[in-house]
Structure 1
Amino acid sequence: MLRLENVKKHYGEFSLECSLEVQAGCVTGLIGKNGAGKSTTFKAILGLIYPDGGKIEVFGKPVEKLSISDREQIGVVLSDSGFSGYLTIKDLISMLRNMYGNFREDEFLRRCKKFRLPLDKKIKEFSTGMKRKLQVLAAISHDAKLLILDEPTAGLDVIARDELLNLLREYMEQDERAILISSHISSDLEGLCDDVYMIDDGKIVMHTETDILLSDYGLLKVTDDQYQKLEKEYIIRHRKEEYGYSCLTDQKQFYMENYPGLAIEKGSIDEVMTMMIRGEK
């Protein structure tokens, strides 16, 4: 559905070097701290910036050769852009109707009503959460096959996030659809994504299935003495702490069976990301 191979982009001291793949039927997460390269990757996929090297394919075609009808099959939410604040939803409907041959107006209106979005109010008067809801509703309103979502749940409260995530799950119920999504809220990704890529300083530093991350990864909390005696073959990262060391492993079961006295915590996306970025090899 989407494939990036050695995509490069240079901005002064920052360099993006990214390879990733989003398969049909899958929700793929892209995680990393601010400035790691997530938004740059999204913009390269959408043709908003031109890479200095590498290949980007969407629907099996080079991104620069996508037809208008191909591009209509992509739904987009970007974290740093949105609709003009001087438009109303009624204005937006007219635009969407002209832009997309498959715009589902009745369904769009039904969902706007469900999310309590006023049709006649200018978008600049919407709250941040309301604006984000509108962006996502517009992205899925034209039966797109691929969604590119950069921080779609930012600014939403717990209830609104849950509603939005359920909407994305409903979207994925149809065959031959896929989502690439980034979010600072790890619980959103843990409950939605099939796999995750971690990007740091412009480079992909990890790729794993979400189920494997949550089941096999763990944090060992060990004293200095325990660390010296620890078999380190399956330690991915370690970090010095006041009490000793915190160690990230992708073989949690090995240490549970062979070191029954160790304090071992279940891994989460946040904890794994922190250790991958701040820990030492």
Structure 2
Amino acid sequence: MDNRIEIRDLKKRYGTFELNCSLNVCPGQITGLIGPNGAGKSTTFKALLGLIRPDGGAVKLFGKDVSALTASDRERLGVVLSDSGFSGYLTIKDIVPVMNSLYCQFDKSYFLERCRDFELPLDKKIKDFSTGMKAKLKVLSAISHNAGLLVLDEPTAGLDVVARDHVLGLLRDYMEMNEENAILISSHIATDLEGLCDDLYMICKGKVVLHEDTDVLLGSYGILKMDEEQFARMDKQYVVKTVKESYGYCCLTSEKQFYLENYPGMVVENADIDGVIMCMIRGE
């Protein structure tokens, strides 16, 4: 099956907010969706999963319109949403037969083995789990039934460094299981996505404002800092966004090397995801 996500001109309105989004997730890749709170990330995920009805556009999973997915198609989908999970009054032992009845390819041995690896108690009620334990359980449940495509909304939110590392390790293991597997993931933690994703879409005020390979973004993009005089005489052909600061200007560029070679007196910093988000939101 073609483990692919295709979103074309997806539109959804809520009052004054309007989502207008297009993105692709290809087999064998991890794609990140980044942006500030209220940008439209969760709305995009809900439309993708058929939880809300779009006002326009096309949303496809596995090469099919979301509305045409069969039960067997949906078994190939693993989902983690930030605001959902198992009932807190269940235990992992309670969950196993539920998963077994829902998914024909649920791998009970793998699931229980990884629960033991991560020291998740089988008899303890989930409401008494730590935030990290709940997160690991949600991701384990999403990947333990031979899903070819994962849709993960903030799976590492609220986790400490160790718990985040465990969750990210699970996702890397998942990608190694099958070279055609694919993941769409959102996160507020930039370092998670920098080390995990092949490409990134940035969404702001309901629109995709940037799409770039992660390696290109981290390797070629840069943050330029300069005074008024430097800004006035600078070649601006590779400037993506400009932010006015008290000391002068801060600019996001897609050609860091050009400015390193031609403006030796200018401050040129490596761009990270947080820096790119700041410039794209504040800049003109």
Summarize the alignment of residues 94-173 of structure 1 with structure 2, pairs less than 5 Å apart.
Answer: 94-173=97-176
Instruction: State the secondary structure of the residue aligned to 1:33.
Output: coil
Counterpart position of 2:50: 47
Secondary structure of 2:195's match?
Answer: helix
Q: Give the C-alpha shift of residue 232 in structure 1.
A: 0.7
Q: Distance in 2 between matches of 1:261 and 1:223?
A: 11
* Deviation larger for 156-165 or 69-78: 156-165
- Cα distance, 1:53 vs. partner? 0.6
Deviation at 1:115, TM superposition (A): 1.1
Aligned counterparts of 2:169 and 2:89: Cα–Cα separation in 1: 29
> SS in structure 2 opposite 1:84?
coil
- Percent identical pairs in the alignment equals 62
Equivalent pair of 1:47/1:64 in contact (CA under 8 Å): yes
Partner of 1:276: 280
Tell me the residue number matched to 2:37.
34
**Aligned residue for 2:232?**
228
Residue among 13, 25, 28 paired with 2:28: 25
Partner Cα separation in structure 2 for residue 13 and residue 46 of structure 1: 23
- When the two chains are superposed, the root-mean-square deviation of aligned CA atoms in Å is 0.7
**1:80 CA drift (Å):** 1.1
Q: Distance in 1 between matches of 2:145 and 2:282?
A: 41
Equivalent-residue separation in structure 2 for 1:252 and 1:175 (angstroms): 33
- How far 1:264 sits from its partner (Å)? 0.4
Equivalence for 1:207: 211
Q: Specify the alignment match of 1:76 in structure 2.
A: 79
Q: In the alignment, which of 242, 249, 271 is matched to residue 245 of structure 1?
A: 249
Counterparts of 2:179 and 2:262 in 1: how far apart (Å)? 44
Cα offset for 1:7?
Answer: 0.6
Q: Deviations over 1:205-235 (max 9, x none)?
A: 1100000000010000101111111111111
Counterpart among 187, 190, 201 of residue 197 in structure 1:
201
Structure 1 residues 125-174: Cα deviation after superposition (integer angstroms, max 9, x where no partner): 11111111110010001010000000111122111211211211111111
- Matched residue type, 1:94: P
Deviation at 1:81, TM superposition (A): 1.1
Letter paired with 2:184:
L
Stretches of structure 2 that go unaligned for 5 or more consecutive residues are none
Give the TM-score of the pair, scaled to structure 2: 0.97
List structure 1 segments (4+ residues) > 3 angstroms apart after TM superposition: none
Q: 1:220 is paired with a residue of what secondary structure?
A: strand
> What is the aligned partner in structure 2 of residue 183 from structure 1?
187
C-alpha distance in 2, partners of 1:83/1:25?
A: 29
- C-alpha separation in 2, matches of 1:274 and 1:91: 44
Amino acid at match of 2:103: Y
Structure 1 residue runs without a partner (length 5+): none
**What's the CA shift for 1:245?**
0.6
CA contact (8 A) 1:132 1:155 kept: no
State how far apart, in whole Å, the 1-side matches of 2:93 and 2:157 are: 24
